[in-house]
Structure 1
Amino acid sequence: MLDVNLQSVKTNPWLRGVLLIGLIALALWMARSKLYSFTSETAFTTITGEHIVLKALHGKPVLVTFWATSCPSCIKEIPHLVTLYKQFHSRGLEIIAIAMAYDRPNQVVAMTREQKLPYLVVLDITSEYARQFGRVWATPTTLLIDQNGTVAKRKIGAFELMDMQARIEQLLKG
């Protein structure tokens, strides 16, 4: 039987290492478990006035992207999002594009109209969604949420279209 007491931890480097690794693993697990605070009750109102509750999307994969009209990578990503929407929406994929709090609402609405975005666009005026979806601070940040509401992929920066297509296809095949 392993007899561990405070004195042996202080004097035995192996025990200190094991304890340190355990504490780091615990801290990472706790940080990860609190990273996302969105729930099935999280609700959005789109720029067109449509009210969406995540619970209503249960059973469907959902791609949530945080973006800004002033973000060059976000603008370059729009055609990829449109492609994903056209390719997978009829099979159940929902896309929610959340504009960051610093983005002016009139600019978001104008760009949505100019680009003829087919997916849902939401304003995050208070940064509440950015907090709930993992303290988002950089754009673009994209989360792919599986049919059970679990984050299957989180990407900070522009995503690769082929990689995202493969991941969505995998989710849809179950």
Structure 2
Amino acid sequence: MEAAVCSEIEREDGDSSCGDVCFMDKGLHSISELSLDSSIHAINLHCNNISKISSIDHIWNLRHLDLSSNQISQIEGLNTLTKLCTLNLSCNLITRVEGLEALVNLTKLNLSYNHINDLSGLMPLHGLKYKLRYIDLHSNYIDSIHHLLQCTVGLHFLTNLILEKDGEGNPICLIPGQ
């Protein structure tokens, strides 16, 4: 199946550009069903049936990846995407943060509406090398303030950490005095 090229994608950062791949709500089961050019800067595969992040390791210039509302259970296959700035994996089946170590230019990470209770994968992102500023974790299973702090305290550029939004939170948000 050939990838459809949207004439324009409006991204959350307000940037829009031609030539970005947009294949939303098409019933795709695998990214490998698409023929993706290595020069693509943005891919939007929102609301498909994709269960594994694969077949994108050759897209070195990728800056924006939206795999929200799929069936992904593990963060993997991103090691060559060092230019990636935004990653949206909301509304999937992910239980732990992992596989982000190579994403030195990642500034925005959306992991809302998953099943996450393990944030250990954020610890390798500590230090000035990483640029992560925004993490959305609302509607997950985070229940330990100690674990949350341990995993996020070294994220030097973090300015926004969302644990609750529109009444949808994490168990940690229900602890009195927190």
TM-score of the superposition, structure 1-length normalised? 0.28
Q: Name the structure where helix makes up a greater proportion of residues.
A: 1
Structure ranking higher in strand proportion = 1
